[in-house]
Structure 1
Amino acid sequence: MKICAYAKQCGGCQYQGMDYSKQLETKQKLVENLFKHKKCLPIIGMENPYYYRHKVFATFSLSKTKKVTCGIYEENSHRVVPIEDCQIQSEKANLILKSICEIASKLRIQPYNEDRGVGILRHAYLRVGYHTNQILLVLVLGQPVLPGSKEFMKLLREKHPEITTICTQVNKRRTSVVLGEQEKVLYGKGYIEDILCGIKFQISSKSFYQVNPEQTEKLYAKAIELAHINKNDVVLDAYCGIGTISLIVAQSAKEVIGVEVNKAAIKDAITNAKINQIKNSKFYAEDVSYFMRDYIQEMKDINVAIIDPPRAGSDENFLNLLAKLNAKTIVYISCNPITQARDIKVLEKKGYEVTEIHPVDMFPFTEHVETVVLMSKVDK
């Protein structure tokens, strides 16, 4: 087991110092305690639980020696803990962040000072393609212009030619929100591509795409296996994001309907369908509850429903409407088994039973655990 030099200051990894097998055992028990008397299968862990985060945020600061450093906020504070080698972040991302600090110090580009509202470099955001190795870098600035941007990019790309696109965003607000509203592409296309379960996805700075692609492939493969989808099935993918599950499932289904409230995500989903020449998917930018209410009569052909809501879970109105579809199978993916267990009680009252529960470790060294639950319609 590797020792993390930043664990006491950072606080981001609640299970630092715990053997990985013990982490998996702890998460397994957590899920089993939430779903008592139900069939809970062994947790799906990682072979190598290090350097798995392919989405990385960092905040810049100035050291006592006036060098530019970057890291993450100390838990429950806005003090930046300088970190050079985070053991759960992509190794490439760690190296690029270190180079950005060195180049910024050399070119005398100052970090942003939140208290005084002065300075330039505020945050860095990186996306690393797991299968393609393409890298997206977004520099979040405290002012509209990055001084010496051409020299900065030249030096950075000499060190890291694997960076395929560089963007800047401006964020002057006193906020914990990292990204700004407007984006300027300095180099490349402004997005990267990656492959997940054989499907190509276009990923921009604001696209929702899973942080741990290696485990995501296992998670989605398990969800699709449980759904038993065939060429006669019409599938509802609620909270579909950029269409990751929808487009993977579309290869096996008659038709897939994806619903997501975020309009930008739906735009990405439609683009991704075109990139992969998938024609049996439809996407709607609408709140899932309103969509179900308005289209319930037209959705009687749905056989399988896959839902992957945010941490807060689903609302009871949506769950009641979902049950009215009488789909033979519901596969519920969750990043928060506590709200998932609450929602499942609603579906159980509406004629569904839990058949299998599969915990998946998406975030080693943290307390978080993902769960895939298969629910089947009870024959009366």
Structure 2
Amino acid sequence: MVLPEIGESRLKDRKQGKGRERQQADRNRHGGKGGFATGAGSARGRGGERRQQAAAIAGLPVQVGDRVDVEIIGLTHEGEGVGRVEGYTLFVRGAVPGDRVRAEVSSVGKSFGRARLAELLEASADRIAAPCAIYELCGGCQLQHWDYAAQLRWKRQLVADNLARIGKLPVAMGDVELAATDTSDASADSVGPPPATRPPVLVHPTIGMDEPWRYRNKAQVPIGMSASVEGGLIGGFFEQGSHDIVDMDVCLIQQEPNEETVRVVKRIARSLGWSSYDRGTGRGLLRHVVVRHAEATGERMVVLITNGRDLPHEDELVALVREQVPGVASICQNVNTSRASIVFGDETRVLWGRDVIYDEIGDIRFAISARSFFQVNPQQTERLYGAALKYAALTGGETVIDAYCGIGTITLFLARHARRVYGVEIVPEAIEDARRNASLNGIANADFAVGAAEDVLPRWQAGGVSPDVIVVDPPRKGCDPRLLDTMLQLRPQRIVYVSCNPSTLARDLRVLEDGGYRRVEAQPVDMFPHTGHVECVIGMQRIDT
């Protein structure tokens, strides 16, 4: 029903002044970027363009429109199969390692090209039939056609490969050890041992789900119109590679209460004669429907994102939603009149009920508002935070700083095990939520501040705060270089790094390694089954402790 948000759905890109909608745009990009020449159809039908492309990129073994047989030997972080033709790399959407495919080239660049899977010549032993009926259209999942055990193995390997290739760190996975791929640019100022003598990072098997379906507690559904549907209004997902909306009522990674809520809201909107927002004209009413389901309490929230404040038949809408949505505790309207492709506007008003619903992670209760970031996979979130707590190795007497703290999820999880915790976040609304959640749980040993962590941490230090442990949970782009410098100046005994992007994790770990820390362990966690994304928790220890 809704595309999983990269890295999940994190507040993280909002922290950097970007909306999660931009993540959605990233997911839906298709070909034709970064100097690519793109095209479709046969080579014969595009002769002029082909000749121009060949002149621009001479010597390539393939051109747009060619059909080539390819052995798939790997997978990109976006879930595309990787193959080679005479040494030239092709990314093949829909292919998995072990496949032999006939692929039609759709774009070429100097270093790599992209192709569509035209024919499956020989299937991988790990290839399965995707259970979702519209899997090939939807851009939300990339790996439903791959056995789940293979997905978990690949996500572990993805973390290990990035640590070795980008971080230039030795890596061990059980009996297998990967050497750092290059140590020539090791910092001359490195405090730790030379790379060749550093102990390897132990990358544990990925923590997966026992039942990797129906895990998402939030659905974010774009709304459109279709003449083929009675009442016209539809809502579902963006078709892969486009902003065309395909109506959908079932999504196998959504919790079923969310499916039910969206079906009800679409039916009510049709009955009230509401129009959908038109991106081209900027007219129309309903842009998105966002629904949440709190698994611990059973409460549901409905958020209607509209192009303007006027809501026709508002009272009737509220009455119908209350009558037809079990457990609904909050009905809100968010007003977004921007022509930009962002989901939420600045104004949210409560139409009925509370402005929040309540959910839990472990024994911590959270108030979740319409625009709050809250992890979408509650079962795996508890495992992720459990790994962070393990690597923090708290005994009850420590001072902990949580950089990029969001609404305080990790901060409050750690507060029960530390003397004092400090959370910093650049988004003011998130800090308001964090303070409210601390109060909700009777946690008095947590302090929160608004600002960039690299600016706030030195102020705390000047005020006498000396952290024993620093936890970072940055956006996909990783830690700000100034924050890494600040952490090295503060010299905590331990650093816990929670990452949603193995490549920037590897880059930042190298800086921390050269600054006097060693990796203890790496624990991948599968927060988003059937997608190309993986979370990872790293424990680091200062080498002189």
For residue 422 of structure 2, what is the aligned residue in structure 1?
A: 257
Rounded Cα–Cα distance in structure 2 between residues aligned with 1:102 and 1:362: 31
**2:382 pairs with one of 205, 212, 217:** 217
Letter in 1 for 2:133: A
SS of match in other structure, 1:64: coil
Retained in 2: the 8 A contact 1:300–1:325?
Answer: no
Q: From 124, 132, 152, give the equivalent of 1:24.
A: 152
> Where do residues 272-287 of structure 1 align in structure 2 (5 Å cutoff)?
272-287=437-452
Among candidates 313, 319, 333, match of residue 168 of structure 1: 333
Which residue identity does 1:310 align to in structure 2? Answer: P
Tell me how far 1:28 sits from its aligned partner: 1.3
- Where in structure 2 are there 5+ consecutive unaligned residues? 1-128, 165-170, 172-200
Match of 1:312 in 2: 477
Q: Which residue of 1 is the match for residue 93 of structure 2?
A: none
Contact 2:130 2:144 in 1 (8 A): no
The aligned residue for residue 233 of structure 1 is 398
Secondary structure of 2:215's aligned partner: coil
Contact 2:224–2:233 under 8 Å retained in 1? yes
- Give the Å deviation of 1:299: 5.0
- 1:200 partnered with 2:328: no
Secondary structure of 1:125's aligned partner: strand
Aligned to 1:147: 312
Q: CA deviation at 1:331?
A: 0.6
Q: CA deviation at 1:354?
A: 0.6
Aligned to 1:15: 143
Shift of 1:163: 1.2
Measured against aligned partners, the alpha-carbon deviations of 1:218-250 in whole angstroms (never above 9, x if no partner) come to: 100111012110121001111111111111111
Tell me how far apart the structure 1 counterparts of residues 464 and 379 of structure 2 sit (CA, whole Å). Answer: 34
In the other structure, the counterpart of 1:191 is 356
1:151 is displaced (CA, Å) by: 1.4
Amino acid at match of 1:286: G
8 Å contact from structure 2 (residues 223, 233) kept in 1 = yes
- Structure-2 residue corresponding to 1:371: 536
Q: Which residue of 1 aligns with 2:433?
A: 268
Cα deviation 1:66-105 (Å, max 9, x = unaligned): 4321012223322112111111122111111111111222
Contact 1:110-1:120 at 8 Å conserved across structures: yes
Equivalent residues of 2:163, 2:502 under 8 A apart: no
CA contact (8 A) 2:402 2:470 kept: yes
Amino acid at match of 1:338: S
Residues 309 and 334, structure 1, Cα contact 8 Å, conserved in 2: yes
**Matched pairs, number:** 380
How far apart, in 1, do the equivalents of 2:464 and 2:390 lie? 23
Q: Specify the SS of the correspondent of 2:483.
A: helix
Q: Which residue of 2 aligns with 1:55?
A: 218
TM-score by length of 1: 0.96
Work out whether residues 305 and 336 of structure 2, in 8 Å CA contact, stay in contact via their aligned partners in 1: yes
The match for 2:259 among 94, 98, 101 is 94
- SS of the equivalent of 2:137 reads helix
Equivalent in 62, 67, 75 of residue 232 of structure 2: 67
- Asked if 2 retains the 8 angstrom alpha-carbon contact of 1:34 and 1:338, the reply is yes
Query: Residue by residue, what CA displacement relative to the aligned partner does 1:273-332 show, whole Å, maximum 9, x if unpaired?
Result: 111111111101110011123333445531111110111110222111101222111110
Q: Letter of the aligned partner of 1:311 in structure 2?
A: R
In 2, the alpha carbon distance for the partners of 1:170 and 1:267 equals: 21
Greater Cα shift, 180-189 or 2-11? 2-11
- 1: CA distance, partners of 2:233 / 2:464: 56
SS of 1:259's equivalent in the other structure is strand
> What is the aligned partner in structure 1 of residue 407 from structure 2?
242
Which of 270, 275, 284 is matched with 1:110 structurally? Answer: 275
Pick aligned residue for 1:347 from 478, 488, 512: 512
Q: Does 1:180 align with 2:308?
A: no
Q: How far apart, in 1, do the equivalents of 2:207 and 2:350 lie?
A: 39
Whether the 8 Å CA contact 1:299–1:325 is kept in 2: the answer is no
Question: How far is the alpha carbon of 1:2 from its aligned partner?
Answer: 5.5
Q: Matched residues in 1 for 2:222 and 2:336: separation?
A: 13
Q: Distance in 1 between matches of 2:342 and 2:359?
A: 25
- Tell me the secondary structure at the aligned position of residue 344 of structure 2: coil
Residues 334 and 51 of structure 1: is their aligned pair in 2 closer, same or farther, counting only changes over 3 Å? same
Counterpart residue type for residue 42 of structure 1: P
- Structure 2 residue 172 is the aligned partner of structure 1 residue 44: no
Q: Distance in 1 between matches of 2:503 and 2:422?
A: 27
- Give the partner amino acid of 2:148: Y
- Does the aligned pair in 1 maintain the 2:402–2:423 contact within 8 Å? yes
Counterpart CA distance in 2 for 1:172 and 1:263 is 22
- Give the match for residue 246 of structure 2: 81
SS at the partner of 2:343? Answer: coil
State the TM-score, normalized to the length of structure 2.
0.68
Which letter maps to 1:52?
Y
Q: Do the aligned partners of 1:99 and 1:156 also contact (CA within 8 Å) in 2?
A: yes
SS of the equivalent of 2:144 reads coil
- CA distance 1:264–1:300, shift in 2 (3 Å): closer
Aligned AA (1:14):
Q
The one-letter code matched in structure 2 to 1:359 is P
Give distance in 2, aligned partners of 1:329 and 1:298: 21
Report the Cα distance in structure 2 between the residues aligned to 1:352 and 1:300, rounded to whole angstroms.
21
* Shift of residue 161, structure 1, vs aligned partner: 2.7
- The CA deviation at 1:143 is 2.5
Find the counterpart in structure 1 of residue 468 from structure 2: 303
